[in-house]
Amino acid sequence: MKSSAPQRSTAWWLATLRRRRERQDDEQLDLSQPIQWSSPREKEAAIAFFNAAFRAEESGLRQAHELAASVHEWDPDLTEVLRLYGDEEGWHRELLTEFLRYIGGEVRPMGRVTRTFYRLYGRARRMETIVLTNLMFETIGSTTYRMALRNVRHPAARQMLGILTRDESFHVPLNVHFLRRVLERRSAIERLRLALLYRLLFVSLVLLPLASRPKAMAFDGISRRDLARGYARMLAGLFEREPDLGLRAPGLVLRVLGIRRSDLDDAELAQTSIEAAERAADRTQVTVSAL
């Protein structure tokens, strides 16, 4: 078994989030030039894509602030980390609301599949379940943004995607820290239950592109298979790098998608690592071209 990836303390995450907060309001979207869409279909696909992003950030904000209240009694510093993390998700939500207006869209009601996912997520009561689910949602969000950034050429859309991609490179390993802290207080039986949940979520999220692609592909140019493989590689590779968490992707699903476990430790997968978080920690030092 591989050794665990490098870790950082709650104090490190807290100090870094406080520095990020000081510079957050200085960053503005450049919406001075209208986007010239190739077709009405591309525009509608962009609106669907950024609506999905909005719902993900909205969910992250709510869950982070609820968790902050839950952990205050046993870790006040982690409470503040969760609150600041939730505030960053809230800032993304504000940017996405502004961006949707700019492209001629608005925040729309969720589709049936998305609504079902978030409804089930909202029913979770165990802290470890909430944290793992949020971590996996953050991971597929990070994967989608990074893959879209390869294909999208509109400058304003690339800036919005760049902000999301950069910050999720920080948020994914931050959520790994949350999960590790929660699991320190859980029994072997509770960890086993979580491992079973991980496998169920893994399969569900890898299948998600079957529903999402018809709505967004005309904007981001990502095929169903490529996105499903991207989700599987990142969701599997993330936990291959963190073996102490005891979560392993189902081998059958990886084989069906043509993914070998030996492929789960390359440079792209390191985008969810603590090293990636350190690179993304200072917002002013990260450019879209470097992502």
The verdict on residue 30 lying in a domain is: no
- For position 197, which CATH number holds? 1.10.620.20
Contact 175, 142 (CB under 8 A): no
The verdict on residue 19 lying in a domain is: no
- Residue 279 is given by DSSP the state H
Interval 35-64: pLDDT, tens: 999 999 999 999 999 999 999 999 889 999
Task: Give the mean pLDDT of the chain.
Answer: 89
Asked if residue 1 has pLDDT above 70, the reply is: no
The verdict on residue 28 lying in a domain is: no
Number of domains in the chain: 1
Asked if residue 267 has pLDDT above 70, the reply is: no
The verdict on residue 4 lying in a domain is: no
Contact 196, 138 (CB under 8 A): no
- Expressed as residue numbers, the domain containing 248 is 38-290
> CA–CA distance from 2 to each of 6, 202, 244, 246 (Å)?
12, 21, 9, 12
The verdict on residue 26 lying in a domain is: no
The verdict on residue 135 lying in a domain is: yes
